[in-house]
Structure 1
Amino acid sequence: MKITIAGDSHGKCMVAILEGIPAGVRIDEDLIRNDLFRRRNCYGRGERMKIEEDAFEIVSGLWKGVTTGAPVTILVPNRAGNPVKDVRSVPRPGHIDYAAWVKYKLPDLNVYVERSSARWTVALTAAGALLKSLLREFGIEVLGFVTRLGGVEAKDIPNDFEELKRKRNESEVFCPDPVATKEMIVEIDRAKREGNTLGGKVRVVAKGIPAGIGSYSDLFKKLDSKIGSLFFTIPAVKGVVVGNEEMWYGFDYLDEFEILDGKIRRKTNNLGGIEGGISNGEDIWVNVYVKPIPTTGKPLDSVDLRAMKPEKTPYVRSDVTAVPPASVVCEAALAVVLSDVLLDHLGEGNINDLKRRFENEDLPRWDDGFWKEHDR
């Protein structure tokens, strides 16, 4: 499967193209609509999200709501224009402004915002939400939520998937801990008054992934390699850890085997469902570190590249924090990666053919006779 995303932050629209989607998948557009709404409507968002509607349109690859096997193209129109009309020559610490100017040498920092702005993640969110219809065919579900915002960390995170989803949905910052949610809102309000911005952490969990998905043959086809590759494209993501972040002692960290109801399982899931680049049958969970937004309300020290003199940063329309919307975007990103490796594993064609392959797979038998001819 291949995903391509294009469009300028303040251009006509953002575009996502998905190639390699099997035919016969009935797309639930409400999943896309809901995820675009969640990305746009969460506490800590700025003025732009009051302008955007994110009304998407699927312009190819669907026939009567069902995928045809052709590339699927999703358009999301932009309504907001660029609020900065003059040439901008003062780079913001933490943004791409200065580094991009050194590389591309176009004398207006507004140019570089068009691609590097987080606006393009609206297309990734739409693509990931569309692929949830594919994953649902195999009983796979993905859920993202906030675990830390500024100095506030969630402590009461439910283990039950449905309860986790319910509490996440009840939170204005998508945190499943009600006490932490209230403290995070206070933290956002304080940062806004101070002209500051907030970073944090999100976690994405996927249930229903069987063992054996991924590869060790090609280093860049390893499941965790693919996760890192896509997640690090997301603006503000600075770190990705698959599984438990506390990994200091083997006895505490390694997931011991057990047989439960005739099936091989693990007593714990500290490794986050992946070993050696291949899924091991447990839930996949990914911790993602998100940095503070580089546009602060309080000016920071910078330089004027045109005049070559010290200058303070200007304020450009922005959010207080990108952490809650990042949980939605990272959820979409994991849906993209899992769809990619699943289709790589099952092949192409019609969804019913793929489901039969998926459902007929079983654990290999140790004594299936494969090596008998070499047993001498």
Structure 2
Amino acid sequence: MTTNDSNQAGDFSPEMDRIKKELERFPSAVLEKYEVALSELESRLRPQDLLDWANHALAIAGKAVRSWEAAAEYLEASAAVQRQLPSGQFIRWASIGGRLCDDSPSLAVSFFKASPDALTRLRPRYVDDWANLGRALYRGTWKSSNLACHFYEVSPQLLESLTFAEFTRFGESLQVLSRRSYDLADECLVKAARLFPRLGDERDAFITVSHDLAEHSWREVKSLYDSASTSLTALEPIHRSRLLVIARRLIQADQTAIGEFFAGASNAVNHVPAEFRQRLLELADEPLASSPASVNLLITQAPNVLDRLSPSQFEEWHREGLRAIADAPESGPSYYRLESARSRETLDQLSSGVELSRVKDLLRTYCSALSDRDIEVNATAQIVDKKIGWVDEQSATTEGTTIYLQPKFSSL
């Protein structure tokens, strides 16, 4: 029987022998891995599929000087990948890796190496798209190669917490960022792999914010990831979701210090009464259109203002801020920063009491005039430190030249 007759009958032994012989030209690791993989696959693949698989190994190994390394990783991964893919998809996977090797053997090495773990979380129909996402990060430079390779390597970890649609959008956001800085894109890739499992259902919204920020102000993206890791994850999901919506609108209004916004706003939200947190974030929507710079200040000042006002009084103080913005949009930040006279006066009028710190000098002058002595006025909190009053029955109850008052009282 001739070779052609043997092939037609399904006997591919001569071809397989030829491939094995040609693989001997490469470093020994290639042939060793080939023989191990062959022993596992020959009972699981049809002869034609087995021959196609072997031909891909030979083709990949011969593409470039270092492409034998890609062939070795291909052979190493083959048995595990074959268990997860139908025969046609398995050969397709080999072909995809071969095309990556045409671009850069390093890309193919990382693609093949990550495949067994990635494919436990990836549907077969998405293998092409996964390969293309990594390939889109490669632009012929060693830095872009490092980024693309790292993307493949981290893919299994990312796919543990992301849907493929989210994974795709994240890859696209890295593409935008990489056009400005490969190093920054790679750093954010590392941070993202740690962050996404902690974001819950807000992952997609965060990826959208990250993408928008990369397009508007790429240097702020690192701060975004840092702040999200330390601050945003500390919020309840409902509040985290609301902050992400606000963040995207701030970016659209050219307010791009989003990392700073997340840090300050997250801390503030967690320091106002729990029952008022969602309402505070609803109120923060109101100045977005006319004074976006006021939004962060409104949220971050809320704990201080709520020390003096009830939630309903806070809303009255806020409504006066909106009127101030309507009168002069540029006045918003100073109002919410408590710097404008209008803000302070409104706060005083609404406050249910008078703070000692605001009238301390006036009281000291008045008491000194009445007694013709130098009198000090201090808060009662200092009594504990000085052991004055009823703290210790063995200590004096007065200090002679100092009057102690509550830090806040209802009338003056």
Q: Could you say whether these structures have the same fold, taking a TM-score greater than 0.5 normalized by the shorter chain as the test?
A: no
TM-score (norm 1): 0.19
More helix by share: 2
Q: Which protein is richer in strand relative to its size?
A: 1
Q: Of the two, which has the highest radius of gyration? A: 2
Using the size of structure 2 for normalisation, the TM-score is: 0.18
Q: Tell which has more relative contact order, 1 or 2 (C-alpha 8 A, sep 6+).
A: 1
